[in-house]
Amino acid sequence: MQLQYLTMIVGSAFMHASYNALMKTRGKDPYFLPGFFVVATLIAWGNIWLNGGLGEVPWTALPVVFLAALFYVVYQIFCNTAYQKGDISSLYPLTVLGPVLIPLWAGLFLSEHLGGQAISGIMLTFLGAV
């Protein structure tokens, strides 16, 4: 593995942990989460402006991009509420169950076939979170 990629992974993990710590310590501030989204939106629009547009993203994909952003915002609101009312050490493992739920939803809604190895991985991840 190249040092550049390892640095990105470690940096991402540090930023993720820092964000969750900020959510726990500042989550009761009514301006923190909206302020976070305003800053993130400004950075994203600035990046689009600096790169000269959306690049390879077709205009027809924008509704899906908007829905993904909306789901992320709702996820963060739920996490913020949970962090305000509970202990982060017991709640955080539940926030990272996406790899468990996504294949299950894909099987349910998209008729994707899950093999034995995938189901074993899902169960192992679920048991680790529990």
Per-residue pLDDT, 73: 86
Per-residue pLDDT, 66: 87
Rounded CA-CA distance 119/96 in Å is 17
CA neighbor of 102 nearest in space, from 112, 92, 91, 115? 112
Per-residue pLDDT, 44: 86
Scored b (16 or more CB within 10 A) or e, 104-119 reads eeeeeeeeeeeeeeee
- Encode the chain (130 residues) as per-residue pLDDT tens digits: 688 988 998 998 888 888 878 877 876 777 888 888 889 889 988 988 888 877 787 888 889 988 988 988 888 888 878 877 877 777 777 777 777 788 888 888 888 888 888 888 888 877 877 7
Neighbours of 62 (CB within 10 A): 11
- Output the pTM of the full model: 0.64
Per-residue pLDDT, 1: 67
Rounded to the nearest 10 degrees, the angle between the axes of helix 88-95 and helix 116-129 is 160
